[in-house]
Amino acid sequence: NAMKSDELKDDLLSPKIPLGFAYENQLLGLEEVDQWYYNSRDCRGHDTLKTDGVVSTCLSIRDPKSHPEGGEREGVGFLKEAAMFTVTDDLKITPISPVSSLLLLNKLEVPLSDVGKLTVRIGREEASRLLVAAFLSEHPLTDVFMRREVLKDPHISKEPKKETE
C-alpha cells in the first residue's frame, strides 16, 4: 500500500470543497471540508482559537455567503443580487455589459453575424465533463457543449465555416 494513511487516501479519492465555497445544491455532490475550532473564554469573554494548546488572537468567524442579521434569505451565494456574466471558451468570467461584449467580439475578430445563442442545462454529468475538460482542453465549453450538439443536430455543419468573399 503506497498511501501513508487512510486519511490521505480519502483526501485524494474523495476531495472536498474548501470552507465557505459549498452551496446547498452542489452539482457534483461534493462536501465541504470539516471545520475544526477549539475555543476557550480567555479573551475577555470572546471565543479564541486554540491549536495544540496555544491560544491565538480573538476570532470573528463569518460565513462569506451569510445574509445580514435580520435580513431575508432569498438566495445563498457570493453576490448581493442576481447578475449575468460572460464565460469565454477558456473559462474566463466577466460581468456582462454591452461594451465588454463588443470589445470581446472585436478582440476575437468575430463578426456580429456569427454570434448566436445556445442555452445549455448543466447537471451532474455536464459539470463532471466540464471539470475534466477544464484540465485537458483549451476550449472546454466548446468540447463539452458544442461538439455534442454538432453530433445531435443534422442542420449544423460538422465542417468549419468557410469565409466567403
Q: What is the pLDDT of residues 97-118, one digit of tens each?
A: 888 888 888 888 988 888 877 7
85 Cβ contact partners less than 8 Å away, ≥ 6 residues apart: 93, 94, 95, 96
pLDDT of 153 reads 44
Q: pTM of whole model > 0.75?
A: no
Mean pLDDT taken over the chain: 70
For range 59-69, the mean pLDDT: 56
At 151, is the pLDDT very low, low, confident or very high (cuts 50, 70, 90)? Answer: very low
Is 89 a residue whose pLDDT tops 80? yes
Is 123 a residue whose pLDDT tops 50? yes
Identify which of 109, 24, 7 has the alpha carbon closest to the alpha carbon of residue 63: 24
Q: Is residue 99 exposed (0-12), middle (13-18) or buried (19+ Cβ within 10 Å)? A: exposed
pLDDT over 90 percentage in the chain: 0
pLDDT of 62 reads 58
Cα(53)–Cα(11) distance, integer angstroms: 26
pLDDT tens, 18-52?
777 776 666 677 777 776 655 555 555 554 555 56
